[in-house]
Amino acid sequence: MPFNNLGFVFKHFGSIIYSKPILEDLCLFLHGFTDKESVLDIGAGTGVMSEFAYRCNENLKYVAVDPAEGMLKYALPYLETHIGAAEALPFEDNSFDAVFMGESLHHFEDIDAAFSEVVCVLKDGGRLFIYDFDLGTFLGKSIYMMEKLFGEPANFYEPSALKEILESYGFSVTVMKHGWRYTVSASL
Check residue 158 and give its pLDDT. 95
Check residue 103 and give its pLDDT. 87
Structural domain for 122, as ranges:
3-187
Check residue 151 and give its pLDDT. 86
Q: Are 39 and 51 in contact (CB under 8 A)?
A: no
Which CATH number fits the domain that encloses residue 183?
3.40.50.150
List per-residue pLDDT tens for the chain, 188 residues long: 455 544 444 554 555 566 688 889 999 999 989 888 999 999 998 888 898 899 999 999 999 999 989 878 988 899 999 999 999 999 999 999 999 999 899 999 999 999 999 999 999 999 999 999 999 999 999 989 998 998 888 999 999 999 999 999 999 999 999 999 999 999 99
Check residue 162 and give its pLDDT. 97
Number of domains comprising the chain: 1
Check residue 8 and give its pLDDT. 46
What distance in Å separates the CA atoms of residue 138 and residue 102, rounded to the nearest whole number? 20
Residue 159: closest CA among 143, 146, 174, 169: 174
Q: Report angle CA 108, 180, 30 to the nearest 5 degrees.
A: 70
Cut 0.85: pTM above it: yes
Torsion of the alpha carbons at 127, 26, 82 and 135, rounded to the nearest 10:
90
